[in-house]
Amino acid sequence: MTPEEYQAKRQARYERLLSAAERAERESKSASSQAHDMASVIPFGQPILVGHHSEGRDRRYRARIENKFRKGYELHVKAKALKSRAEAALRNTTIFSDDPAAIEKLEDKIARLEERQRLMVEANKLVRKNDREGLAELGFSDGSIELLFTPDFAGRIGFADYQLTNNSANIRRLKERVKKLVKHSEDETTEKRIGAVTIVDNVEDNRIQMFFTGKPREAIRTELKSHGFRWSPTNGCWQAYRGSNAMFYAEKIATQTGGENPS
């Protein structure tokens, strides 16, 4: 996958989520409008009509109005959630493994964190010496220097031990990610068939994909979800992020279904 294709993939996800949000909002307004129209024929303050047939019809009619209002509200909430997800997808700066520039971006981030680690260590040495000029030469502003000499809740000055420990842990974690990406950089997309299920190890999309010949039984769908698989309407399959666990459960579930023809 080229960088251009990856960006197009991200943009397509944003547009799908935004389109779904707009559709939900239209349906919300439609349901709310129908509820208002239905309610407008009932005189304000009119109680439920009393009578063997009239009372039942009146209650059912009012229940339909209430259901319409509820559906409109639920769709409005869904639309807001989808729009929020769309905006988050657009501004997301997380480095995903299927990004063709992932290794380069991770190495750049590691370099920045290592520089931060060096600065924190040097700053703590200067704080212990009460060397404000040295901190200024390192690039710290007057405000930052004052903060370094302001004791925290535990009476500590400078950068706390946990800040250096957490930063160092992030560096190690990212270096492990780079190792794994380099190791799998030559991987190629493969597929296998178990019974009526085709399992695709999709390197380009960074997904383990399961293609059934029909809709899996509810028990199978529940198990798929419990192991991180989600239905992808775009690809017409159940898929999860690539990994040994995902492949293990894909093969296990495919074997469980055997040669059955899902319905």
Q: And the tokens for 249?
A: 């459960």
Number of H helices, E strands in the chain: 8, 5
Are the C-beta atoms of residues 138 and 123 closer than 8 Å to each other? yes
- 199 or 8, greater pLDDT: 199
Q: What is the pLDDT of residue 117?
A: 97
SS3 content of the chain, % helix, strand, coil (to 5): 65, 10, 30
pLDDT band (50, 70, 90) for residue 201: very high
Q: What is the pLDDT of residue 250?
A: 95
Q: What's the burial of 89, exposed, middle or buried (CB within 10 Å: 0-12/13-18/19+)?
A: middle
**pTM score, whole prediction:** 0.55
The average pLDDT across 85-109 equals: 82
Q: What's the burial of 229, exposed, middle or buried (CB within 10 Å: 0-12/13-18/19+)?
A: buried
Q: Tell me the per-residue pLDDT of 168-178, one tens digit each, with 9 for 90 and over.
A: 999 999 999 99
Say how far apart CA 201 and CA 246 lie, in whole Å. Answer: 10
Q: What is the pLDDT of residue 61?
A: 83
Q: Tell me the per-residue pLDDT of 115-140, one tens digit each, with 9 for 90 and over.
A: 999 999 999 999 999 999 999 999 99
